[in-house]
A and B are shown apart, each in its own frame.
Chain A
Amino acid sequence: MKHDFNELRLDRVTRRFAGHGGQAFNALDEMTLTVRRGEFIALLGPSGCGKSTALNCIAGLLALSGGTIHLDDVRIDTLPPERRGFGMVFQNYALFPHMSVAKNVGFGLKMRGVPGSEIASRVMQALSLVQLTGQEHKLPGQLSGGQQQRVAIARAIVIEPPLILMDEPLSNLDAKLRLETRSEIRRIHRELGRATIYVTHDQDEALSLADRIVVMKDGVVQQIGTPEAVYAEPANLHVARFMGYRNVMELPVAGERDGRVVLRAGDSELCGVRKLPLDGGRAMVAIRPEEITLAGSANDVNVITGRVDNVEYGGRDSLVEVVTRDGTRLHVRASGRFEPGAEVFVRVPPERVLVYPREAH
């Protein structure tokens, strides 16, 4: 067991499961990823996308059906979990219900044969890091959900693992606690500088925590990139949908102008950026609600006329649904007051209209 490493390399890691009717399917399909020292990686995707499978493969809780995992030059995918020495935080905490908080946190050290006095001091240190000093004699059942998850984090970091694995650690917490614990995880990562792989289905969590995000779907990696890249330049329509591009519509392609794709939207035109080679006469357009602004008049590029259909007040701004003349529904995030039925002009900067080929069905 090493205390630190330079690179964790996943090379075409595959995991097959027997599906319904004996049909095997790849829960994880040839995942290739390199995690560098100290990096915070988020595996992001909807449920069933293979992100937890990937994490369990790295932890050693699932055997691989194909591919290899190397920690620097040591092959680790053949080692049992107890010999990999990664710290893992589980979605349902997985605290040992019969052990006190201190015993839970000290368990990994005890398994490593660390002397009792050292265990005690390191446990206290870890508990103060997660701000749970004074709770060490309680049983997990006497703590709140947020406290239990912090015990689980302390238990995973006290062994000073080279890599920390987190499997949706916040999804059982309520909204307020989730935000608090999220900041806590960010702070702990900054203080310890340990490489972390964090599984989540929440893009806000991934964006706010990660150095790099791995977006997955159906066991296949869709995009690996910084939060900025994944947010602004989704590699494909699936990533765009997942990153909050709520307006996705299919439009006929009219041609090209100044390196931009021109599409027909009812009786007006929409210019956009081509992200992937297009095929055929129709294309998919993805626009984020935040990127649409309200224009004063129809005389500008990329302005569409529509009618306010529904308004959801959201405090700082509102989510306005605008129906265009040809019946397309657009989600717009805007501040100000809107009356349903009013005619509005909406405008999107051409560089924020992302154009993708049509999805194969």
Chain B
Amino acid sequence: MAGRTLATRRAGFDAALLLVLPAALFMLLLFVYPFLYGLWLSFEPKEGGWLANYRHFFTSTRLWPTIGTTLSLAVPATLINVFAALPIAYRMRRPSRFRRTLTALLVVPITLGTVLIAEGMLTYFGPRGWLSQFLQAAHLYDGAIRLTHNYWGVLISLVVSGFPFAFLLILSYVTGIDPVLARAASTLGANSSAQFRYIYLPLLAPGIAMCFCLAFVQAFSVFPSAVLLGAPAGPTRVISIAAYEAAFEQYDYSLASAIAMIMGFVQLAIVAFVLSLRGWFYKGPVGGGKG
């Protein structure tokens, strides 16, 4: 009986699939349509041919360098987040009360949002902020501390908001690996660093790549902190600021759409590159045999 039910279900149409319809509709209305509309809009410039916006972007020195500016923030921030999260998550792979507490603490910056983090950082890292006052009072450093309204302010804010995300994601990958594998390796003579190198790292690689992609996309679309904590006129004029100015200062929606498309394309290219690296790694289950 059971076999037949299974067979029929596999061959026929499963009515439960209909449950994805509302979500599919939602995606279509709120994501696919605006995307296609934006794409179409980007080829309808105010003046010039259908590629005029793109030509303008790549010839204007106010526009094309924003790609580099954004990458110079997003790539280091992502690397810091992922590769700082990895050893900490690895150290915390065994369940403990400490792990629960830290996990709960790390969720807080995620829920606060970038604007609140920026507010806090302005107070703390600013020229008259607590950090500067403390260092001067303790006579550790007397010079001016410039950690806001420049590149470093934005980078720190990207780490503060992005690290917990990367950490929690990697922690879930690390704890998904059967600890008996490490024990087996240890009985075969692998010390702690060899266990990490030969067992954990290869099994984590696909997860790290995925985490890198998600953290990168998050950092690449930086906007509030680049404005609030950076120097939006110069060193931290990221691509989203360029798009914002085009749309809401020049009222050129068509150019703004083109910038958004370029932004999406750069993200896609990086993500595709990183995910293609996953082909080099083992992608199967991470258990050691029968459970």
Contacts and interface: CB of A to CB of B under 8 A. Distances in A.
Interface stretch (B6-14, B142-150, B189-197): B189-197
A112 B194 CA distance: 11
A82 B291 contact: no
B284 A97 contact: yes
Contact of A98 (B178, B185, B188, B202): B202
Interface residue range, chain A: 20 to 34
Q: Most chain-B CB neighbours within 10 Å: which of A97, A145, A165? A: A97
Interface string A132-160: 00000001110001001000100110010
Contacts of B22: none
B177 to A, nearest CB: 10
A177 to B, nearest CB: 12
Interface string A49-75: 000000000011100000000000000
A172 interface: yes
A253 B196 CA distance: 64
A90 interface: yes
Range for the number of chain B residues in contact with chain A: 20 to 34
Contacts of B199: 96
B289 A95 contact: yes
Interface string B278-291: 00011011111111
A105 B84 CA distance: 33
User: Main secondary structure on chain B at its contact with chain A?
Assistant: loop
B194 to A, nearest CB: 6
B140 interface: no
Contact of A97 (B188, B194, B287, B291): B287
A242 interface: no
B288 A98 contact: no
Given A81-B183, A97-B282, A139-B284, A111 B188 contact: yes
A155 B188 CA distance: 8
A97 B288 contact: yes
B190 A96 contact: no
A245 interface: no
Contacts of A145: 289-290
Interface in B228-257: none
Interface string B164-201: 00000000000000101101111111110010001100
Interface in A285-305: none
B289 A93 contact: yes
B203 interface: yes
Given A107-B188, A108-B188, A111-B188, A94 B183 contact: yes
Interface of B: 178, 180-181, 183-191, 194, 198-199, 202-203, 281-282, 284-291
Interface of A: 59-61, 80-82, 84-88, 90, 92-98, 107-108, 111-112, 139-141, 145, 148, 152, 155-156, 159, 165, 172
14 contacts: A60-B187, A82-B188, A82-B190, A92-B289, A92-B290, A93-B288, A94-B180, A95-B288, A96-B184, A96-B185, A108-B188, A111-B188, A159-B189, A165-B187
